[in-house]
């Protein structure tokens, strides 16, 4: 900069002060003149200038299309001295039906796509105002808004548009200023207008009723309504945004699960996607997840979108659960997206975060001002016209004399002066008469003038009444709003689900039956139930896992992947996992060390397990120990997520838990011992105890005998049998009626005759004939067969061979699964 500007002087300035001042000036310029919309018309300066320039150029809906370049040039040259691309991009967005809920520009040509394609160059495309946009500019020529000089003071531009509808809510707005940003979602025009009318109706109430609140307005304005449709999950974020001006909502793609007729496979068809999500990138992301095997089960992915609407087709494998795949897509792609709402707008050129009611009230205030200013303009115009008509009526009474004065005068000024002097005309009346040709003056009709005068006087009276009545002003606003609603309102596109479905991990995992095994040395694994196929009685089974030296299978059970698995340990504690949290392994794999999944202490081992779907208070948990102690506790007492476990029961020295079962208050209990004895007693004989209690005796044991199994008899079920399996693979079914109900603590009766041939009793289960049996040996050999294949024998029989175990293969566990559960 030339030193001459400072007269040769150097002025020292603190750079921090200069930066602070300059940056504040810059930031305020961005906030007010570029990035934030005005609360009254919902437009940023560039959009306002585009619409005003279109109005000035006559690019109205009833006219033909004009080149976009014509608009951009005119807008840039007169009102918006910035880059032509910024003006064109803003105009294109106003024309895109996937960006604007109600486009204000009617575009002709390539205006881009939801795939992110750019619009054609402005020299190719054409545009004009959309019909709704005319209501943004209606009555702008009637002094309804203030005008200011443009950037070079050669033109005038409006500070705000009349905006006959609440465009800020209807089309929304987004922009990043300096240190602040706005993100207002679009809404349904009909709902917003209904909300405004309701709010204005409350002003008309004269009974002192309280003003409506946000909840009252939400009966009309349900929530955002995006141009791309989709589902809004829950109302919590909407309520927060409408109450405080800030909130976040989850928007989820609309998808249907359909069956393909030609091959019977299932497919997911996506017909609506969240707002501002790029469709092509969404499809690319799905393909990427499939390629990386983060989502498995998708066999084909196609984009079948047409002019009629979006259609993304995702074909699935036969063996997958479609809802699980859909949930995974919601979780890992923008098929579910968050929309952060920040309703920041300019109020008197000052940025302010507004709630729903404030936005509507500022709009109503603006409309009142527009109606009042329009009425004043029209009143003045009507009064001026009535004044002229009044003069013409008077002139008509003396038409011959008036004509004579005009003809006899040397010039117009003399004639005008004579008319004023003779008839007491005002200067404007006399000038109006002088401006009329004599032919027209002589052709004036009394009836027409009188009718015109009366119409003008009625109009004057009406406009005067409007200006003196706030209620009439509100009535006009409501009438005009209803006219717009009736003409442009359409059905809601975005469906709102009133229960926000928070995605749980279980939603991403198929609910299927699995087999879980636990070994003596503490290895655990999970694998699908269909890994093991059913065999006939006496089969040898298949290798179920590879056990290490001095290790063998101790527990096998079936559960759903969504079940909670309770692990009871040798220290009387209980731990909890979801079944799907247990790593899946191959049929012959050893599995995962359970200490990597549970926070077990040193020398603490799992001794019993149970699968629980829900922790309901109508269920009890019944435990049985090796020494014959039983305890009943409410299932809810075990509902814990503590990683360090929970005390489950108090164990005697040299005792351990061998079985856990759910009961329904009125079941019977069956306990069996290694030497083949069994006792059946009523659950009511065992009183409910606290979680940490020891329990009571369930069976009296002989020397060298101990409890190996416990099960529950549902007395409401029919055709129940007691199935017993020995360590050498002998099994039988016995009628439960053979096991009479005894008192708790008795010695029991023979339930299975054990010999050196059969080996000791290994497992007992209450079954029905339509169930299946799974048996696993200590070496990991598994056999699965139908229970109906096991013969029915008396309780003192030794059974038949269910599995050929060989001399060294001892049955460790038997478990049974109902066919219906698969």
Taking each helix axis from N to C end, the angle separating 84-95 and 68-78, rounded to the nearest 10 degrees, works out to 130
**Mean pLDDT across 431-455:** 80
Angle at 96 between CA 93 and CA 100, to 5 degrees: 75
Q: Where residue 64 sits, what CATH number does that domain have?
A: 3.90.199.10
Whose tokens are 């290895």? That residue is 523
71-85, 295-309, 533-547, 683-697: range with lowest mean pLDDT: 533-547
Within this chain, do residues 315 and 388 fall inside the same structural domain, yes or no?
A: no
Query: Phi and psi of 752, rounded to 5°?
Result: -160, 125
For residues 678 and 764, the answer to whether their CB atoms sit within 8 Å is yes
* The pLDDT of residue 113 is above 90: yes
pTM > 0.85: no
What's the CA gap between 213 and 199, in Å, rounded? Answer: 9
Residue 664 pLDDT class (50, 70, 90 cuts)? confident
Read off the pLDDT band of 24 (50, 70, 90).
Answer: low
CB atoms within 10 A of CB 819: 11
Give CA separation, 268 vs 256, 260, 311, in Å.
Answer: 6, 10, 10
Q: How confident is the model at residue 570 (pLDDT cuts 50, 70, 90)?
A: confident
Domain presence at residue 53:
yes
Q: How far apart are the first and last CA of the chain?
A: 85
Q: Shortest CA distance to 636 belongs to which of 657, 659, 614? A: 614
Cβ neighbours of residue 61 closer than 8 Å, sequence gap 6 or more: 106, 128, 129, 130, 131, 133, 134
pLDDT at 484: 97
* DSSP-derived 3-state class of residue 99: coil
Neighbours of 822 (CB within 10 A): 11
* DSSP tag of 783: E
Stronger pLDDT, 581 or 355, i.e. the higher one = 355
Residue 238 and residue 245: Cα distance in Å, rounded?
10
| 617 assigned to some structural domain | yes
Q: Which of 52, 102, 124, 398 is catalytic?
A: 124
User: Lowest mean pLDDT: which of 146-155, 566-575, 776-785?
Assistant: 776-785
Q: What is the mean pLDDT of residues 112-135?
A: 96
Looking at the structure of the chain, the number of domains it has is 4
Tokens of 291: 């390629």
Work out the pLDDT band at 547, boundaries 50, 70, 90: low
Domain identity same for 526 and 457: no
Question: Is the pLDDT at 68 greater than 60, yes or no?
Answer: yes
Q: How far, in Å, CA of 496 to CA of 594, rounded? A: 44
- Please indicate whether residue 124 is annotated as part of the active site: yes
User: What CATH number should be reported for the domain holding residue 727?
Assistant: 2.120.10.90
| pLDDT tens-place string over residues 414-442 | 988 998 998 898 999 999 888 877 666 66
Q: Specify the pLDDT at position 544.
A: 47
Residue 17: Cβ-neighbour burial (10 angstroms; 0-12, 13-18, 19+): exposed
Phi-psi region of 112 (alpha: psi -120 to 50; beta: other; left: phi over 0): left
User: What pLDDT does 817 receive?
Assistant: 53
Q: Tell whether 322 is covered by a domain.
A: yes
Nearest to 813 by CA among 722, 709, 735: 709
Q: Which of 278-282, 551-555, 629-633 has the lowest mean pLDDT?
A: 551-555
pLDDT at 536 over 50: no
Whether the pLDDT of residue 241 is over 80: the answer is: yes
Spatial separation of the C-alpha atoms in residues 192 and 101, rounded to whole Å: 13
Asked if residues 548 and 530 have their Cβ atoms less than 8 Å apart, the reply is no
Residues 747, 753, 754, CA angle at the centre, nearest 5°?
100
CA atoms within 13 Å, Cβ hemisphere of 654: 2
What is the Cα 696 distance to its own chain's centre? 52
Under a CB-based contact definition with an 8 Å cutoff, are residues 30 and 23 in contact? Answer: no
Q: CATH number of the domain that 289 lies in?
A: 3.30.1360.40
Q: What pLDDT sits at residue 810?
A: 52
pLDDT value of residue 166: 97
Last residue within a domain, chosen from 120, 147, 162: 162
Cα–Cα separations (whole angstroms), residue 580 to 293, 502, 508, 532: 18, 19, 11, 19
* Cα separation, 259 vs 311, whole angstroms: 15
CA pair distance 553, 44, nearest whole angstrom? 72
Query: Mean pLDDT throughout 177-188?
Result: 87
Radius of gyration of the chain (CA): 43
Predicted pLDDT of residue 32:
53
Do the strands 495-497 and 231-233 form a parallel or antiparallel pair, or are they unpaired? parallel
321-359 burial: b if 16+ Cβ within 10 Å, else e: bbebbbbbbbebbbbbbebebbbbbbeeeebeebbbbbb
CB count within 10 Å of CB 378 equals 18
For 670, the domain range is 511-821
Residue 727 covered by a domain: yes
Q: Kindly state the percentage of the chain with pLDDT values over 70.
A: 89
Is 776 found in the same domain as 669?
A: yes
Of 121, 37, 113, nearest in space to 85 by CA: 121
pLDDT of residue 438: 66
Shared domain for 714 and 748, answered yes or no, is yes
Q: Is residue 821 classed as helix, strand or coil in its secondary structure?
A: helix
The reported pLDDT for the residue numbered 173 is 94
What are the residues facing 251 on neighbouring strands?
232, 337
137-160 average pLDDT score = 95
Is residue 445 located within the same domain as residue 542?
A: no
Residues in the chain: 822
Same domain, 769 and 680: yes
Q: What is the pLDDT of residue 79?
A: 94
Task: Please report the pLDDT score of residue 779 as a whole number.
Answer: 74
Q: How far apart are CA 573 and CA 657, in angstroms?
A: 10
437 compared with 357, residue with greater pLDDT: 357
Task: Please indicate whether residue 498 or residue 600 has the higher confidence score (pLDDT).
Answer: 600
Number of C-beta neighbours around residue 641 at 10 A: 7
Mean pLDDT of all residues belonging to the chain: 87
Whether residues 323 and 367 share a domain: the answer is: no
Average pLDDT over residues 679-694: 93
Q: How are the residues of the chain apportioned to helix, strand and coil, as percentages rounded to the nearest 5?
A: 35, 25, 40
527 and 618 share one domain: yes
Flag whether pLDDT at 541 surpasses 60: no
- What are the backbone angles phi and psi of residue 76, rounded to the nearest 5°? -70, -40
pLDDT band at 822 (very low <50, low <70, confident <90, very high): very low
pLDDT tens per residue across span 384-404: 999 999 998 888 888 888 888
Q: Per the domain annotation, does 37 fall within a domain? A: no
The secondary structure of residue 339, as a DSSP letter, is E
- Using a 10 angstrom Cβ sphere, with 0-12 exposed, 13-18 middle and 19 or more buried, the burial of residue 391 is buried
With tokens 């009555």, the residue in question is 139
My answer on whether 697 and 789 are in the same domain is yes
Q: Is 246 contained in some domain?
A: no
Residue 354 lies in a domain: no
- Distance of CA 591 to CAs 219, 373, 382, 531, 558, Å? 56, 82, 93, 15, 16
Same domain for 316 and 384, yes or no, is no
Question: What φ, ψ does residue 38 adopt, rounded to 5°?
Answer: -85, 140
Choose the final residue of a domain: 295, 318, 334. Answer: 334
What secondary structure letter does DSSP report for 728? T
The residues that bridge with 577 in the sheet, in sequence order, are 565
Among 456, 488, 520, give the residue marking a domain's end. Answer: 488
pLDDT band at 461 (very low <50, low <70, confident <90, very high): very high
Q: Is the pLDDT of residue 666 over 70?
A: yes
Q: Strands (DSSP E) along 643-727, which ranges? A: 646-647, 657-663, 668-673, 677-682, 696-697, 707-713, 721-726
Distance, CA of 162 to CA of 145 (rounded, Å): 7
Beta bridge partners of 568: 574, 608
Q: What is the dihedral of CA 219, 221, 227, 231, to 10 degrees?
A: -40
Which strands make up the sheet holding 553-560, listed edge to edge?
553-560, 513-519, 523-528, 592-593
Q: Average pLDDT of 192-199?
A: 96
Which residues lie below 8 Å from residue 588, measured CB to CB, with a gap of 6+? 543, 544, 545, 546, 780
Using the predicted structure, report yes or no on whether residue 531 has a pLDDT greater than 70: no
pLDDT, position 474: 95
3-state secondary structure of 215: helix
Is residue 700 domain-shared with residue 802, that is, in the same domain? Answer: yes
pLDDT of 680 over the 70 cut:
yes
Taking the C-alpha atoms of residue 282 and residue 228, their distance in angstroms, rounded to an integer, is 14
pLDDT beyond 80 at 721 = yes
Measured distance CA(816)–CA(802) in Å, rounded = 13
Instruction: Give the 3-state DSSP-derived string for 169-210, with helices as H, strands as E and coil as C.
Output: HHCCEEEECCCCEEEECCCCHHHHHHHHHHHHHHHHCCCCCC
Based on the fold, state whether residues 463 and 380 are members of the same structural domain.
yes
d(CA 141, CA 136): 12
Q: Is residue 747 part of a domain?
A: yes
């Amino acid at each position: 900069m030339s030193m001459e500007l400072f007269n040769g002087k150097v002025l020292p300035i603190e750079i921090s002060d200069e930066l602070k001042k300059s940056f504040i000036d810059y930031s305020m310029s961005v906030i007010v003149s570029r990035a934030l919309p005005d609360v009254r018309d919902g437009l940023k300066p560039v959009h306002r200038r585009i619409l005003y320039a279109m109005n000035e150029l006559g690019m109205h809906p009833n006219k033909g299309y004009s080149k976009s370049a014509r608009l951009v040039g005119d807008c840039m040259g007169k009102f918006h001295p910035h880059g032509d691309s910024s003006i064109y991009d803003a105009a294109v967005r106003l024309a895109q039906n996937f960006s604007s809920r109600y486009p204000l520009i009617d575009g002709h040509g390539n205006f881009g796509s939801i795939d992110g394609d750019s619009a054609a160059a402005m020299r190719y495309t054409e545009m004009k105002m959309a019909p709704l946009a005319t209501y943004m500019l209606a009555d702008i020529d009637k002094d309804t808004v203030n005008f200011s000089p443009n950037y070079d003071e050669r033109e005038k531009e409006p500070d705000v548009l009349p905006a006959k509808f609440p465009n800020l809510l209807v089309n929304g707005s987004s922009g990043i200023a300096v240190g602040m940003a706005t993100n207002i979602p679009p809404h349904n025009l009909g709902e917003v207008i209904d909300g405004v009318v309701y709010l204005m109706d409350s002003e008309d109430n004269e009974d002192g009723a309280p003003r409506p609140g946000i909840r009252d307005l939400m009966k009309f304005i349900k929530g955002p309504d995006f141009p791309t449709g989709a589902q809004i999950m829950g109302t919590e974020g909407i309520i927060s945004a409408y109450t405080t001006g800030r909130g976040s909502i989850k928007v989820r793609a609309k998808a249907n699960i359909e069956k393909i007729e030609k091959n019977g496979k299932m497919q997911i068809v996506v017909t609506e996607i969240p707002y501002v999500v790029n469709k092509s990138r969404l499809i690319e992301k799905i393909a990427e997840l499939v390629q990386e095997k983060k989502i498995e089960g998708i066999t084909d992915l196609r984009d079948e979108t047409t002019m009629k609407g979006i259609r993304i087709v995702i074909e699935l494998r036969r063996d997958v659960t479609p809802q699980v795949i859909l949930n995974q897509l919601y979780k890992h792609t923008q098929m579910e997206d968050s929309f952060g709402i920040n309703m920041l707008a300019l109020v008197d050129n000052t940025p302010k975060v507004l709630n729903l009611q404030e936005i509507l009230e500022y709009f109503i205030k603006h409309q009142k001002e527009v109606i009042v200013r329009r009425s004043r303009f029209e009143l003045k115009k009507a009064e001026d016209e009535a004044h002229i008509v009044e003069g013409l009526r008077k002139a008509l009474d003396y038409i011959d004399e008036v004509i004579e004065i005009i003809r006899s005068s040397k010039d117009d000024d003399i004639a005008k002066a004579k008319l004023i002097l003779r008839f007491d005309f005002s200067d404007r009346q006399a000038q109006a008469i002088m401006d009329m040709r004599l032919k027209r003056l002589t052709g004036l009709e009394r009836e027409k003038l009188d009718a015109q005068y009366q119409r003008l006087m009625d109009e004057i009276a009406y406009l005067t009444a409007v200006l003196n009545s706030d209620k009439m002003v509100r009535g006009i606003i409501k009438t005009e709003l209803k006219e717009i609603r009736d003409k442009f309102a359409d059905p809601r596109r975005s469906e709102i689900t009133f229960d926000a479905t928070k995605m749980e991990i279980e939603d991403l995992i198929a609910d299927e039956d699995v087999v879980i095994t636990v070994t003596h040395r503490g290895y655990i694994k999970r694998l699908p139930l269909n890994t093991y196929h059913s065999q006939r009685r006496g089969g040898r089974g298949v290798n179920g896992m590879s056990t290490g030296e001095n290790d063998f299978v101790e527990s096998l059970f079936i559960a759903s992947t969504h079940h909670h698995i309770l692990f009871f340990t040798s220290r009387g504690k209980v731990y909890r996992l979801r079944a799907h949290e247990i790593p899946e392994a191959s049929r012959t794999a050893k599995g995962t060390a359970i200490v990597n999944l549970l926070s077990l202490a040193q020398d603490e081992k799992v001794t019993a397990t149970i699968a629980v779907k829900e922790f309901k208070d109508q269920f009890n948990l019944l435990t049985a120990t090796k020494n014959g102690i039983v305890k009943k506790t409410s299932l809810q007492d075990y509902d814990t997520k503590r990683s360090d476990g929970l005390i489950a029961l108090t164990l005697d020295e040299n005792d351990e838990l061998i079985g856990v079962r759910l009961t329904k208050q009125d079941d019977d209990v069956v306990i069996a011992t290694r030497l083949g004895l069994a006792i059946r007693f009523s659950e009511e004989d065992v009183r409910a105890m606290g979680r940490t209690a020891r329990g009571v005796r369930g069976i009296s044991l002989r020397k060298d005998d101990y409890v190996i199994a416990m099960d529950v008899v549902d007395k409401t079920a029919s055709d129940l049998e007691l199935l017993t399996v020995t360590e050498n693979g002998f099994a039988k079914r016995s009628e439960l009626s053979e096991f009479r109900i005894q008192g708790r603590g008795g010695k029991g009766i023979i339930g299975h005759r054990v010999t050196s041939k059969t080996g000791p009793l290994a497992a007992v289960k209450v079954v029905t004939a339509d169930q299946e049996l799974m048996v696993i040996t200590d070496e990991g050999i598994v056999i699965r067969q139908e229970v109906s294949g096991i013969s029915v024998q008396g309780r003192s029989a030794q059974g038949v061979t269910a599995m050929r175990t060989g001399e060294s293969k001892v049955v460790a566990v038997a478990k049974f699964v109902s066919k219906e559960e698969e």
